[in-house]
Amino acid sequence: MYESYFGLKEAPFSIAPNPHYLYMSKQHNEALAHLIYGVEREGGFILLTGEVGTGKTTTCRCFLEQVPENVDVAFILNPKLDSEQLLETICDELSIGYIGDSLSIKDYTDYINQRLLRSHSKGRHTVIIIDEAQNLSPTVLEQLRLLTNLETHEKKLLQIILLGQPELQDIFLKPELRQLSQRVTARFHLDALTKEEIAPYVYHRLAVAGCAFPEMLFPEKAIQKLYSISKGIPRVINLVCDRSLLGAYAENKKSVENSLLQKAAKEVLGKSLVLHKDEKAAFFKSMAVSNNWIAILGLCIACLTLGIVLSAFFLKGVTTHQIIDATQTPVDLSKESLVDVPVDLPPASLISSGAQLITNVIGDDNIGKSVKVSARKNAEKGVAASAGVDLDFDDLLAKGGLSKQLSYVSLMKLWGVQYRPEQDGFACKHAKANGVTCLSKIGSVGVVAHLGLPAILTLFDGDGGKHFVVARSVTNESVQLIVNDADVEMSISELHKHWRGHFAVLWKKPPQYVTPLKPGTIGPMTKWLGKQLDIYEGVKHPSLGRSYYDDALVQRVKAFQKQVGEHADGIAGVNTLILLSSYTEKNIPSFSVDKETM
């Protein structure tokens, strides 16, 4: 209902276990790794437990998308079965044919065993996944244990994954199931999201649904309120966010406020979630109406007593505090505190190719140089730019066309994208619809040159007003800018009088990229990364890699990072992906560096 209003392609907070919306928090990534590791071990049980709504089923669905091609999977959603019904369901899920109206448990077991042996002979492996496994009876669990006895001399023929609530762990602690407990090869428990993970979780789902500005839709205060309501349970977050978006749509608002979140929480979770001010007032009013004067009098006496005690304690504390303060050494406030801010210097590769760039940025002797208009002719408008004409910053402002929207017009033109602000709306949303993504950063000219992409620089005038230009190349002394389709050269020293390091670029974000890829990550992005490295390394037939970010892939990423001047930490973040795409993707405009003058 509200999707088109917020520019979304689909509802972002559905409670359906869609693996594409799975936010890979640290613990969800570990849970997925446990599932994959357990399957690779071949045999026994894997336990994945967690509170209701923490993402067990969604994680499992993500796992199903990544199982090897030689694995057959039976997924059982209704575990409230007896032993015979369970075996029959396994046969149905694995397409095992059985004949007879009154088959025994032994008959079903024989059919399953024959199928497992045939699959093993063909190099295939079989996995049974049971959701809501805390509902399995001890008798059925024992039957499952007996199924894992099906084996050859080399390995077990069956792997069983049990998903369930925390009480599943207690079931495995029962003495009569100690044999079953010893068959467990991997265990993992999913907890709620931490407070720091709420914002990435919400913004991830919004981004997957096509939202260009998730932070505007759910501001920081709303995120904090959302954590206090949901306590980090993903399903509760989804329910409250979905209803709050519906409320914002109904009230014609473009962002979710705390009042909307609170109202949505009451609607989906019940009014007893929090005792609010209006409810407190109603509580006292109900006491008065009920003529319960004794309770009211007792409450008043208790409050009065507490007030007297706190007042005495407070007065004593103030006196002591004043005495202590009087003995302290005065603080010298004449000097400002210095805050260490890390300087974002360009990498070694850039310094080696043009070592004088940083020297000139920091200490340029040519301070007197000002803005010069390029001498090349603008054939489209028939206007010739005057060569050697000195311009100061005020003259540049007088040229006009320094708005943010017009700068995006120029930047997207370099990418081959036509942008008409009055028709196409938000620049970044339009860019995303055309295959490129906005990225805002802070750095130096060296950082912009290192990324190798044309950038929009934010310039400030003397009154703090913002003005925007597109930078497309750099030399030893100046940066070439685009203003009204004309090239303007500004000296680096003049640029740094008005530029505080804020810039924005467009880049081709890889499909399904959400957060930097770290060693051990499991997901489809690692497949893309492997193929792009194949292209970069000149592999004759590039192919998608594995879903697991293993040591071999980490070493390849580190080698690439060393070659392009990135910190070789093996983490495939935005900078690494931008530089990799510049070597492997076509039609990407570049920020050129004139090395001959540097």
SS3 for 417-472, per residue?
CCCCHHHHCCHHHHHHHCCCEEEEEECCHHHHHHHCCCEEEEEECCCCCEEEEEEE
**Cα angle 557, 561, 566; round to 5:** 140
| Per-residue CA distances from 572 to 280, 436, 511, 559, 580 (Å) | 52, 19, 14, 12, 10
- The two structure tokens encoding residue 276: 């609010």
| Contact (CB, 8 A) for 468 and 458 | yes
Residue 164's contacts (CB-CB under 8 Å, 6 or more residues apart) are: 47, 48, 49, 56, 131, 132, 133, 134, 135
**What's the rounded Cα separation, in Å, for the pair 125 and 367?**
72
What is the DSSP pairing of strand 455-460 with strand 383-384?
unpaired
**Two tokens, residue 240:** 């409250």
**CB-facing half-sphere around the CA of 369: CA atoms within 13 A:** 18
Question: How many Å apart are CA 163 and CA 266, to the nearest integer?
Answer: 30
- What does 51-99 look like in DSSP terms, one character per residue? STTSSHHHHHHHHHTTS-TTEEEEEE------HHHHHHHHHHHTT----
Q: How far is CA 119 from the centre of its chain?
A: 39
What Rg, from alpha-carbon coordinates, does the chain have?
32
Query: How is the beta sheet containing 44-50 ordered, strand by strand?
Result: 71-76, 125-130, 158-164, 44-50, 184-190
Say what the pLDDT of residue 443 is. Answer: 82
Cα 31 to Cα 189: distance, rounded to the nearest angstrom: 8
Are 64 and 45 contacting, i.e. CB atoms less than 8 angstroms apart?
no
Q: CA–CA separation, 218 vs 239, rounded Å?
A: 15
Q: Are 451 and 578 in contact (CB under 8 A)?
A: yes
| CA dist., res. 480 & res. 391, Å (int) | 14
With a CB cutoff of 8 Å and minimum separation 6, the contacts of 325 are none
Q: What is the 3-state secondary structure (H, E, C) of 507-541?
A: ECCCCCCCCCECCCCECCHHHHHHHHHHHHHCCCC
Pairing of strands 125-130, 158-164: parallel
CA angle (401, 407, 412) in 5-degree steps: 140
DSSP designation for 578: H
The amino acid sitting at 178 is R
Give Dmax (Cα) for the chain. Answer: 98
- Could you tell me which of 64, 177, 84 has the C-alpha nearest to residue 129? 64
d(CA 151, CA 165): 29
Q: Are residues 419 and 409 in contact, defined by beta-carbon separation less than 8 angstroms?
A: yes
Q: Class of the 26-190 domain? A: alpha beta
Alpha-carbon distance of 45 to 67, in angstroms, equals 17
Fold (topology level) of 525-589: Muramoyl-pentapeptide Carboxypeptidase; domain 1 (1.10.101)
- CA 14, CA 25: separation in Å to the nearest integer? 18
List CB contacts of 19: < 8 A, sequence separation 6 or more: 58, 61, 62, 64, 65
Could you state, in order of their start, the residue ranges of all structural domains in the chain?
Answer: 26-190, 195-273, 349-507, 525-589
Q: Dihedral angle at the C-alpha atoms of 458, 459, 464, 466, nearest 10 degrees? A: -50
- The size of the chain, in residues, is 598
Q: In terms of CATH, what superfamily is 349-507?
A: Cysteine proteinases (3.90.70.10)
Please tell me the distance from the alpha carbon of residue 172 to that of residue 189, in angstroms, as a whole number: 14
> 589: buried, middle or exposed (CB in 10 Å: 19+, 13-18, 0-12)?
middle
User: Tens-of-pLDDT digits for all 598 residues of the chain?
Assistant: 788 888 888 899 988 888 888 887 888 888 888 787 777 666 678 889 998 888 888 888 888 877 777 888 889 988 888 888 889 899 988 888 887 667 888 888 888 988 988 888 888 888 999 999 999 888 888 888 888 888 777 777 888 999 999 998 888 888 888 888 888 888 888 889 998 889 889 988 888 888 877 888 898 899 999 999 999 999 999 999 999 999 999 998 888 989 999 999 998 887 655 434 444 444 444 444 444 555 556 666 766 666 665 555 444 444 444 333 333 334 343 333 333 333 333 443 333 333 333 333 333 333 333 333 333 333 333 333 333 444 667 777 877 778 888 999 999 999 999 999 889 888 888 998 898 999 888 888 888 989 999 999 998 887 878 889 899 988 878 888 888 778 888 888 888 888 888 899 999 988 777 778 888 877 778 888 988 999 999 988 888 777 788 888 999 999 999 999 898 999 998 999 999 999 988 889 988 876 554 4
Nearest partner of 467 among 412, 399, 421, 418, judged by Cα: 399
E-assigned strands of 310-436?
A: 371-373, 377-378, 383-384, 390-391
Q: Are 289 and 282 in contact (CB under 8 A)?
A: no
Cα separation, 36 vs 131, in Å, equals 17
- Both tokens of 75, joined, read 């997924």
- Sequence letter at residue 259: S
